[in-house]
Amino acid sequence: MSETVIAVPRTRTCPFSPPPGLAEVRDRAPVTRATFPSGDEAWLITGHAEVRAAMRDPRFSVKVPRALHTKDGVVTAKPGRGSLLWQDAPDHTADRKLLAKEFTVRRMQALRPNIQRIVDEHLDEMERLGPPADLVSSFAVPVPSMVISDLFGVPVEQRPEFQEIAEAVMGVNPDPEVAQAAGMRLGGMLFQMVQERRANPGDDLISALIGTDDPEGVIDDMFLITAAGTLLIAAHDTTACMIGLGSALLLNRQDQFSLLRNDPSLVSTAVEEMLRFLTIGQYGGERLATEDVEIGGVLIRAGEQVVVHALAADFDPALVVDPDTFDITRRPSAHLAFGFGPHQCIGQQLARIELQIVFETLVRRFPELRLAVPVEELSFRDEMVFYGVHKLPVTW
């Protein structure tokens, strides 16, 4: 076991590569002690096999006492039974089962025509307005927002407000008062939405959950509001980041852009490689050992906190050959961009469908698309839980 305590590498020098130093840490000690921005010392897990082992091990809880990635380390209170993200078994298993029933591959596939329409409409508008355009505000942000809002039946007039609230809730180190106010507004909006669905059920997901056979009475207003809030936020920001950052990456790598444009059948491997190469949950997940656990031959004691660093793991040469090369023809890897184990992303099928439609359509409709500014002038989301690009000026 390595006794050295390292400072977790967080500063990127290339916007499309993990922070320098992370690979060396992983290759030297895939489970090691590290210090984090909160000032705390905890375990940092970076090897692919070790991250997977920790993520699927039920002896790790998501209820961490300290938020290691924030400057003050304070964990904000989670009301009620809580969102899936902050629950452990058995509550997590039961609630996830209820939601997963509505996230079938069939239901997600049925959304394809609607997603295609939303993507087409946004690209039509971009074309109509002419170059240059900011691909983030005109495409990457509104498309996932419209998709998930459609899925839940969020009324059109409430969508801009929802988008604004999601931004406020997701930032790292947000002003606690701003975050609390955003959380309250989101709660109010969802409460109203649930009441409307109860009165007038539709074919949306909230109505489907209300109609679920629920002999134990788990699906009350609080459950619905929490579930919808978690889903809306988890689906919105992540997918928007992947569209913006994935586009930036493709435009910075014109060889890969051309490959995809010339052979659209590559879109599913291209999306898998983008997910791996960008692994946007850039700091890794936080967990707490509830019992002594051995990971990668290292003993982690009950009560100790760990960070499972999926980004470092997705560049492990044990996962793919030549991990630093972005290659859209690569065979899909067992990457950890959607997590692993009991908390693995419930919306991954929807995210994949959305990203495939987005990138196939974008390169087909704008075969001459290119960055309108040098890549050095782009500003990236270095301080956010999910990595991305703030603005993406493009021309064609």
Q: CB-wise, 240 or 378, nearer to ligand HEM?
A: 240
Task: Round to whole Å and give the CA distance between 289 and 286.
Answer: 10
- From 37-45, 291-299, 325-333, 335-343, give the range in contact with ligand HEM by CB under 6 A: 335-343
Smallest distance from ligand HEM to CB 345, Å: 3
Instruction: Work out whether 5 is an interface residue with ligand HEM (CB under 6 A).
Output: no
Whether a cis peptide bond, with omega within 30° of 0, leads into 79 is no
Q: Which amino acid is at 391?
A: K
Smallest distance from ligand HEM to CB 395, Å: 26
Instruction: Work out whether 234 is an interface residue with ligand HEM (CB under 6 A).
Output: yes
Task: Round to whole Å and give the CA distance between 131 and 396.
Answer: 6
Of residues 25-64, those binding ligand HEM (CB under 6 A): none
Smallest distance from ligand HEM to CB 169, Å: 14
Instruction: Work out whether 85 is an interface residue with ligand HEM (CB under 6 A).
Output: yes
Instruction: Work out whether 343 is an interface residue with ligand HEM (CB under 6 A).
Output: yes
Exactly one of 30, 142, 284, 347 binds ligand HEM (CB under 6 A); that residue is: 347
Site string (265-294) toward ligand HEM, x via CB under 6 A:
---------------xx---x---------
Compute the residue count for the chain: 396
Exactly one of 48, 52, 96, 335 binds ligand HEM (CB under 6 A); that residue is: 96
Q: CB-wise, 319 or 346, nearer to ligand HEM?
A: 346
Longest dimension (CA), the chain: 61
Q: Under DSSP, is residue 394 helix (H, G, I), strand (E, B) or coil?
A: strand
Q: Which two tokens stand for residue 177?
A: 């008062």
Smallest distance from ligand HEM to CB 352, Å: 8
Question: Concatenated DSSP letters for 90-153?
Answer: THHHHHHHHHHTT--HHHHHTTHHHHHHHHHHHHHHHHHH-S-EEHIIIIITHHHHHHHHHHHT
Sign of the alpha-carbon torsion through 133, 136, 138, 140: positive
Exactly one of 51, 154, 231, 320 binds ligand HEM (CB under 6 A); that residue is: 231
Of residues 131-190, those binding ligand HEM (CB under 6 A): 148
Please choose, from the candidates 370, 346, 362, 385, the residue with its C-alpha nearest in 3D space to the C-alpha of residue 108: 346
Please choose, from the candidates 203, 218, 239, the residue with its C-alpha nearest in 3D space to the C-alpha of residue 102: 203
Helix axes 267-278, 254-262, angle to 10 degrees: 150
Q: How many residues bind ligand HEM (CB under 6 A)?
A: 23
Exactly one of 98, 345, 372, 375 binds ligand HEM (CB under 6 A); that residue is: 345
Whether a cis peptide bond, with omega within 30° of 0, leads into 90 is yes
Q: CB-wise, 328 or 350, nearer to ligand HEM?
A: 350
Sites of contact with ligand HEM (CB under 6 A): 84-85, 96, 148, 230-231, 234-235, 238-239, 242, 280-281, 285, 337-339, 343, 345-347, 350-351
